[in-house]
Amino acid sequence: MTPSQPIDPHALDHHHVKGLAHHFDDMDQQHEAATLGMWAFLATEVLFFGGALAGYAVYRSRYGDAFAAASHHLYLWIGVINTAVLLTSSFMMALAVNAAKQGNRKKIVTFLILTILLGLAFLCIKGIEYYLDYREHLVPGNIFEANWHEIFPHIDGAHPGSMMFLRQVQLFLMFYYILTGIHAVHMIVGISVMIVLAVKASRGRYTAEYNSPIDMAGLYWHFVDVVWIFLLPLLYMVQH
């Protein structure tokens, strides 16, 4: 810049605002763009889960008896415990977002770590549940190797429809593992993101003026929690 050119104070301030990307005019514009981008992403996630749930709804309406019978063999109490764990993690994430807006570094890190630990607890409990399901032969394909007369005593093995019933049970189990597995992958992604955020927060990366990444991570985490709230009754509480 030559001495003859006037100095633009606004341009200087723009480059000295912590966390403000060069292509935004101010923090408000950057935050609005980030929020719009996250909601657009979550809309695609709704379509993603919506397709799987629509398929589930179609087969649930056709094979209600088999779906209900299989659902009653899942561990509802484990699902309820995991729901409480996930809701608590969502509350911790909300506290982390609030701490970020206040610029409180210590609380940001603390609440993010608590959210991460609760998320890991959810995955561990779910892993234990998967093991129990496998041990009970509630796995697609494996159910035919089990003594299914004990699992479904009301089924007459001599009846031609018995194998068809078991195939319908297997279809429910496929939906169960696909939906809960995809949900678990989303949780792993969210936990990974929060680990990065916690490290950056410990280094003072976020302030009361710049905290969009934590806010966006909070939206994602709440979405993952809402998905589970739908999965719990759809998979664990199926009625005839």
Q: Which residue has the higher pLDDT, 116 or 155?
A: 116
Q: Can you give the CATH number for the domain in which 52 is found? A: 1.20.120.80
Whether 18 is covered by a domain: the verdict is: no
CA neighbor of 174 nearest in space, from 44, 45, 59: 59
Q: Hey, what's the torsion of the CAs at 56, 58, 64, 66, to 10 degrees?
A: -50
pTM: 0.84
Rg (C-alpha) for the chain, rounded Å, is: 24
Tell me what pLDDT residue 105 has: 92
pLDDT band at 23 (very low <50, low <70, confident <90, very high): low
Q: Does any domain span residue 64?
A: yes
Q: Does residue 62 belong to any structural domain of this protein? A: yes
Question: Which two structure tokens, joined as six digits, stand for 172?
Answer: 């429910």
**Residue 11's pLDDT band (cuts 50, 70, 90):** very low
Rounded to whole angstroms, how far apart are CA atoms 233 and 143? 23
Residues 21, 1: Cα–Cα separation, whole Å: 22
Q: Is residue 7 part of a domain?
A: no
**Nearest of 69, 83, 80 to residue 238 by alpha carbon:** 69
pLDDT digits (tens, 9 = 90+) for 122-171: 999 999 999 999 888 888 876 655 555 566 666 655 445 577 888 888 89
Question: What is the domain range of residue 164?
Answer: 27-236
Does residue 71 lie within any of the structural domains?
Answer: yes
**Residue at 166 is within a domain:** yes
In a domain, 87, yes or no: yes
In a domain, 11, yes or no: no
For the chain, the domain total comes to: 1
Long-range contacts of 81-88 (CB under 8 A, 24+ apart): 81/125, 82/122, 82/125, 82/126, 82/129, 82/228, 83/228, 83/229, 83/232, 85/118, 85/121, 85/122, 85/125, 86/118, 86/119, 86/122, 86/224, 86/225, 86/228, 87/225, 88/118
